Structure 1
Amino acid sequence: MTEHNKIPVTVLTGFLGSGKTTLVNHILTANHGHRIAVIENEFGEIPIDNDLVLNADEKIIEMSNGCCLCCTARTDLIEILRSLLARSDRFDRIIIETSGLADPNPVAQTFFVDDDVAASFTLDAIVTLVDAKHIRGHLAESGHEGLGSAVVDQIAFADRIVINKVDLVDALELEAVRQAMRGINATADIITSRYAQVDVADVLGIEAFDLSRPMSGDPHWLDDDGHQHDPNLSSVGIELDGTVDHEALERWLTEHLREHGGDVYRMKGLFAVERDARRFVLQGVHSVFDIRPSTPWRDENRSGKVVFIGRELDRAELTRGLRSCLVR
């Protein structure tokens, strides 16, 4: 099954009160023509979000296991995804709405580490909502520990950030929120909304994890916008002139991530591999990564670039490690 034959999954995350349920309601009632299954997760003993989601033709599946999805629900998530495949009615897309306290990393990893899930589903993107009025307060109050760490992680993992409730702030505060988002995540696209009213195409079908996407003519797929970042959270882009030894690259990545995977939130890259006419694409989350061949190189130089997004990244160490995999 090719990537484009798989069911795309969007992970929707964001801190408490950011507007995730409002966005789900907006998607379910929008005129988009897609059949969408929504998997919700509760943080707490009494499930309530299912009562807040408007009735629609789409199927709501709730995991009220008394903990956030990032803690112990990965097995539950796999079983739910399998149950969706067993249904006679099929879905065009799936949205996983995590709790406001959830770390999206284990959810994303599910689509890399479970063979059955990877065979039938593809991770489309991680979309993070933030509350324009309160997000800077959350970040300032808690720093990088406790709840503040959860907020930072949700932003750092995002492929797209939706700054919601912009009607509650003025232009200066909105720009300050943008800069705060850029200080944590240099590469995610940022859009704004009131009452989570966004174009559905801006949050579904992003294809951030599609390994063929960088070959589709998007020249900015690996760009870093050059902002100055929080010293603890950064984006490191490394150019690779020449071809790499595929086995050496996988070996180095495995060893490096075994020690530092907790600090590497996302990684993505494009390589030229020795004695292979195809481009190779890297996608990864923490210590889990995937390198696959894509379309052939054409007339451009066979070179590569890797972008790491994470906490306290050592640019010099990453550069040395990657360049050690180049074919001399």
Structure 2
Amino acid sequence: MVDSKHAMQHLDEVKPRFVVNEAVEQVAYADRIILNKIDLVSEDELDKLTKRIMHINVMAPIKLAKYGSVDMDFVLGVGGYDLERINSEVLADNSCHGKHQHNIAQGHHEKHHHDHVHDTTVSSVSIVFEGTVDLDEVDDWLERLVEEKGEDLYRMKGILSVTGSNQCYIFQGVHSTLDGCPGKAWEPDEKRINKLVFIGRNLDETALRKGFRGCLA
């Protein structure tokens, strides 16, 4: 649950080098986000806060609330391997990708005028490729990624189209822990698309795309 009145203050708090901003980290790990006390902020403030949170964590659906009142189904209905949820998370990231880049630039612009540094090092990156992948190659790539970026790689989720399988493959990970399982069967006329989302610090989108492209069959 996020206090809409004071959240930006905590998200913008400048930390010493190599010290994690706890508020940013909590948003990055969240499966569900409730923006509480929305009656205490203006529409413009709420819009800026929502965009800031989406830049950090595009996976988590956001619910607006007053006095902490929210449907319990929203809080409890967290499905780690829910295919539709993962699919919507990746699609949401792609639809907002350009907006995220604009907000980053806007944050730097404000820094020059107000001498205030926003922590924009934590962000979301999505990857979408058509075709099929070699699952062993994906496993090796993700293992190398975890070894190199484990501490900075907060979360990842994805849907894979695996060569020789009529089922999609779903995976998710937190730091150095990775899990996966077969999902539903692809429909005969369904376009087989690989969709992945990463949340972390100082993510190199170009390197991530290049690494995954090397797993395509």
TM-score tier by shorter-chain length is: 0.7 to 0.9
Ranges in structure 2 where 5+ consecutive residues have no aligned partner = 105-119
- Does residue 303 (structure 1) correspond to residue 193 (structure 2)? The answer is yes
Ranges in structure 1 where 5+ consecutive residues have no aligned partner = 1-128
- Percent identity (aligned): 38
Whether the aligned pair in 2 keeps the contact of 1:138 and 1:148 (CA below 8 Å) is: no
Distance 2:18 2:7 in 1: 15
Report the AA paired with residue 173 of structure 1. E
Distance 1:237 1:144 in 2: 29
Please name the residue that 1:222 is paired with: 90
Structure with a larger share of its residues in helix: 2
Distance 1:182 1:322 in 2: 24
Q: Which has the higher contact order (CA 8 A, sep 6+)?
A: 2
SS state at 1:201 partner: helix
Runs of 4+ in structure 1 off by over 6 angstroms are 144-148
Whether the aligned pair in 1 keeps the contact of 2:56 and 2:199 (CA below 8 Å) is: no
Please name the residue that 1:323 is paired with: 213
**CA separation of 1:169 and 1:255: change in aligned 2, threshold 3 A:** same
Please name the residue that 1:314 is paired with: 204
Alignment of 1:120-131 (within 5 A): 129-131=1-3
Aligned residues: 195
Please name the residue that 1:162 is paired with: 34
Cα deviation, 1:160-206, whole Å, max 9, x if unaligned, reads 21111223223332223223222322332111212211111111113
- What is the CA RMSD across the aligned residues, in angstroms? 2.2
Deviates more, 1:177-186 or 1:248-257: 177-186
**CA separation of 1:317 and 1:270: change in aligned 2, threshold 3 A:** same
Alignment of 1:90-239 (within 5 A): 129-143=1-15, 149-207=21-79, 209=80, 211=81, 213-214=82-83, 220-223=88-91, 224=93, 225-226=96-97, 227-228=99-100, 230=104, 231-239=120-128
TM-score scaled to structure 1, two decimals?
0.55
TM-score scaled to structure 2, two decimals?
0.81
**CA separation of 1:315 and 1:141: change in aligned 2, threshold 3 A:** closer
Whether the aligned pair in 1 keeps the contact of 2:87 and 2:159 (CA below 8 Å) is: no
Cα deviation, 1:84-134, whole Å, max 9, x if unaligned, reads xxxxxxxxxxxxxxxxxxxxxxxxxxxxxxxxxxxxxxxxxxxxx111111
Alignment of 1:1-150 (within 5 A): 129-143=1-15, 149-150=21-22
Report the AA paired with residue 273 of structure 1. V
Shift of 1:318: 0.8
Please name the residue that 2:115 is paired with: none
